[in-house]
Amino acid sequence: MAVTLPQAAVAYETVAAGAGGSRAWRRFALNPAAIAGSLILLVMVSAAVAAPWVAPHDPAKQSLLRRFTPPMWQAGGSSAYPFGTDQVGRDVLSRIVHGARISLLVGVSAVIVSLLVGVTAGLVSGFLGGKVDTVIGTVVDVWLSFPQILLALAFVAALGPSLVTIIVVLGLTGWERYTRVVRAEVMVLREKEFVEAARALGVGRLRIIFRHVLPNTVSSIVVMSTLQVAQAILAEAALSFLGVGSGNAYPTWGQMISLGRDFVTVAWWLATLPGLAILMTVLAINLVGDRLRDALDPRTT
Amino acid sequence: MSAFLIRRLLRFVVVCIGVSLVTFSILHASGDPVALIMPEAAEADRAKLREALGLSDPLPTQFVRFVANAARGDFGQSFFHREPAFRLVVERLPTTLTLTCLAVALALGVALPVGIYSAVRRNTVADHSATVVVFLGQSMPVFWIGIMLMLLFAVQWRLLPVSGWGTWSSMVLPSVTLGAFTTPLFMRIIRSSMLEVINLDYVRTARAKGLSEWLVICRHALRNAALPIVTVTGLQFGLLLGGAVLTETVFAVPGVGRLIVGAIRQLDFPIVQAGVFLLAIIIVSVNFLVDVLYVYLNPTVRLR
């Protein structure tokens, strides 16, 4: 846990350095919303990493004797089960803590898949232009024509639900935003004299990509991918809610809400509390992403 | 202008073909569809069925046949209902569209005044509270919003039915849920499009003429802010239908979304294909119409 904070700070700082140095970073670090968001995220990430040690109980341990124990602040609640228990007596808090693992893992991994696909497509589209560009543009159009959640649902069901399938399918929805940004940047740079000069001198495309294209797009990519993590977490929750999650072996927030919906008349906490966990996490990521955008945007001062 | 429309029309056709290709591949992503239809049958029987369904033909042949059939609304029989899949989907379409339209109406009813007010009174307490609402709204899963509303209005206060569809009272919670999911989206778009135009010269001129603030906003600013609002609404239509799918599942609304989700659980692929295809074609058509509308509304595009 002690490693997480400095690393994150370094990551932000590198980004900020690309877009106007430490001023952008300071603008971010001094913003109350950004601080609140980062703190919540820190708690969530530590809970996910340390879940087996932090969770008070085994999330899979059932006990029919204490089914539907209400949260501790309600009559009949017990401080041993702060968030109560579910229909088979499993500890809700422990399941929420463990659920953070799947949500964050899927969120971040899906965005990495999106980045790989989207940035590559953008570079290819921009550098090759012509027919290739048209084809990639059409693929994006087709892709955006589906309700993404349904498409993901259909493919996860067809391929068989598993963690990897979910990550890949969610990663394959939402990559087009990076393609757009990277392609636009390449288009602009292609016309620049210094790039032409560099190419005339025999500088390879890869070098141009890493020295000029990617650094210029880094700040928008960082902002977009932060916000996409939030969307991927919501999408994962929706998939598990609909019953095609990563399987029942491990608790997820969406699956907990889905079970809670069946017992909505007897146990309000079953659906409410995992939803609050999603809300807090996604809100924190959105806050950080939004403040990052403001801090990195050269137009706002 | 006609060149522009022809280009858009061409793109529309190409995208439709792409949509068919993706829908077509859903079935084949599952591996062997015949194993799903008759899981316990002997290999000889399976081969016979595969032959009968044309699944042993080369893929391009199958795809052409799929497109030809899809164009006629033929996606085969549902594995479970033993009825044409497309008819089952179309029967449920009005419910989904009603839900979506009610939600959009609710969302616009809230987002339009609030979004405009936020833009006009930028950086006031009201504007900041609206921003907070937008942030909260966009961070909640739509199905959770639905369950929370259900918990309050149906379980706690017993004002409205827990689920179902048909009576007016049963339509309230699903529509409000989907509306609550859509409102932040609209609010953000409306606020930013209003901000774009509100300080432009012609709006200042209108003010300088002595028109009342209300007239300036409605007649001059809003009319020009309407363009991006329409475009983005078109682009977000897919998100909206996705939200409808989840809302229908929460409240057991008998719409297309719930049908598809049920079919996916039973691996009833004809229904999945018919449903996904129909929704995608609706989205593509909406986007095409928005493009056409854009040309008619925007004089700068019309000139080109």
The DSSP line for B112-141 is HHHHHHHHHTTTSHHHHHHHHHHHHHHTS-
Is the predicted pLDDT of residue B86 greater than 60, yes or no?
yes
Residue with tokens 């599942």: B249
Are the C-beta atoms of residues B95 and B171 closer than 8 Å to each other? no
In contact, B263 and B272? CB cutoff 8 Å: yes
What integer pLDDT is reported at residue B92 of this predicted model?
95
Q: Going by C-beta distance under 8 Å and a sequence separation of 6 or more, which residues neighbour residue A294?
A: A27, A28, A31, A300
Mean pLDDT score of chain A, rounded to an integer? 85
**C-alpha to C-alpha distance for A47 and A44, rounded to whole angstroms:** 5
Name the B residues in 217-236 with CB < 8 Å from any A CB: 235
Which two tokens mark B141?
Answer: 């899963």
ipTM above 0.95, yes or no: no
User: What would the mean pLDDT of A66-90 be, rounded to a whole number?
Assistant: 89
- Which residues on chain B are in Cβ contact (under 8 Å) with A245? none
Q: Determine which of A136, A143, A146 to mutate to test the interface with B (most B C-beta atoms within 10 Å).
A: A146
pLDDT > 90 in chain A, percent: 43
Average pLDDT, chain B: 86
pLDDT of residue B85: 93
pLDDT for A102 equals 92
Cα B192 off chain centre by: 22
CB within 8 Å: B144 and A278:
yes
- Say if the Cβ atoms of A150 and B279 lie within 8 Å: yes
Q: Does A197 touch chain B (CB under 8 A)?
A: no
Q: What is the pLDDT of residue B130?
A: 92
Q: With 70 as the cut, is the pLDDT of residue B229 above it? A: yes
Q: How buried is A237 (Cβ within 10 angstroms: 0-12 exposed, 13-18 middle, 19+ buried)?
A: buried
Binary contact (A275, B261; C-beta < 8 A): no
Average of per-residue pLDDT across A111-116: 96
Predicted confidence band of residue B1 (pLDDT cuts 50, 70, 90):
low
> Helix (H, G, I), strand (E, B), or coil: what is residue A109?
helix
pLDDT at A19 over 70: no
A11 pLDDT higher than 60: no
B107 token code pair: 């969302």
In the predicted structure, residue A74 carries a pLDDT above the cut 60: yes
Nearest CA in chain A to B25: A155
B141 vs A237: CB contact, 8 Å cut-off?
yes
Res A14 pLDDT > 50: no
| Euclidean distance between CA atoms B19 and B236, whole angstroms | 17
Instruction: From chain B, pick out residues whose CB is under 8 angstroms from the CB of A234.
Output: 141
Bridge partners (DSSP) of residue B77 are: B84
Residues A284, A36 contacting (CB under 8 angstroms): yes
Average pLDDT, stretch B242-253?
A: 93
Mean pLDDT of B262-277: 87
| Average pLDDT of span B245-273 | 91
| Amino acid occupying residue A74 | Q
Task: Say if residues B118 and B281 touch (Cβ distance below 8 Å).
Answer: no
For residue A12, the model assigns a pLDDT of 41
What local confidence, expressed as pLDDT, does residue A299 receive?
Answer: 56
User: Given a cut of 90, is residue A38 above it in pLDDT?
Assistant: yes
Q: Please classify residue B245 by burial: count the beta carbons closer than 10 Å to its beta carbon, then call 0-12 exposed, 13-18 middle and 19+ buried.
A: buried
Predicted pLDDT at A32: 87
Whether B132 contacts B118, CB under 8 Å: no
Task: Give the mean pLDDT of A190-195.
Answer: 79
Q: Are B268 and B207 in contact (CB under 8 A)?
A: no
Mutation choice for A interface testing from B28, B30, B143 by most A CBs within 10 A: B143
Task: Report yes or no: A9 at the B interface, CB cutoff 8 Å.
Answer: no
Is the pLDDT confidence value at B304 over 60?
no
Confidence check: pLDDT of B245 > 50:
yes
Above pLDDT 70, what percent of chain A?
91
The model's pLDDT over B30-42, given as tens digits with 9 standing for 90+, comes to 767 777 777 777 7
Please tell me the distance from the alpha carbon of residue B245 to that of residue B177, in angstroms, as a whole number.
Answer: 12
pLDDT reported for residue B302: 53
Mean of the pLDDT values across residues B101-125? 92
Percent of chain B with pLDDT over 90: 36
| pTM for the predicted model, two decimal places | 0.88
**Higher pLDDT pick, A131 / A244:** A131
The band of B125, judged by pLDDT with boundaries at 50, 70 and 90, is very high
As to burial, measured by CB atoms within 10 angstroms (0-12 exposed, 13-18 middle, 19+ buried), residue A7 is exposed
Predicted confidence at residue B301, as pLDDT, reads 59
- Determine the residue of chain A that is closest to B147 in CA distance: A261
Computed on alpha carbons and rounded to an integer, the radius of gyration of chain B in Å comes to 24
pLDDT of residue A201: 83
pLDDT at A42 over 60: yes
Q: Which contacts of B36-43 are long-range, i.e. CB under 8 A and separated by 24 or more positions? A: B36/B79, B36/B267, B36/B269, B37/B79
pLDDT class of A284 with cuts at 50, 70, 90 = very high
Look at residue B7 in the predicted model and tell me its pLDDT: 82
- Picking from B292, B252, B265, B239, the residue whose alpha carbon sits closest to that of residue B36 is B265
**Per-residue exposure over A32-52, b if at least 16 CB sit within 10 Å of its own CB, e if not:** ebbeebbebbeebbbbbbebe
pLDDT score of A146: 78
Asked whether the predicted pLDDT for residue A16 surpasses 70, the reply is no
Are residues B122 and B116 in contact, defined by beta-carbon separation less than 8 angstroms? no
When CB atoms are compared, the residue of B22, B147, B238 closest to A257 is B147
Contacts of A273 by beta carbon, 8 Å cutoff, 6+ apart? A71, A83, A84, A92, A96
pLDDT given for residue B35 in this prediction: 73
d(CA A261, CA A233): 19
If you average pLDDT over residues B213-242, what whole number do you get? 80
Q: What is the pLDDT of residues A219-263, one digit of tens each?
A: 889 999 999 999 999 999 999 999 887 767 789 999 999 999 999
Q: Which amino acid is at B302?
A: R
Local confidence band at A70 (pLDDT 50, 70, 90 cut-offs): very high
The first and second tokens of residue B71, run together, are: 């164009």
> Is residue B36 within 8 Å of B30, Cβ to Cβ?
yes
Summarize the confidence of residues A159-187 as an average pLDDT.
Answer: 88
Which of A5-19, A142-156, B199-213, B242-256 has maximum average pLDDT?
A: B242-256
pLDDT tens figures, B167-187: 899 999 999 999 999 999 899
How many other C-beta atoms can be found within 10 angstroms of the C-beta atom of residue A63?
A: 13
Question: CB–CB of B264 and A146 under 8 A?
Answer: no
**Chain A, nearest residue to B28 by Cα:** A158
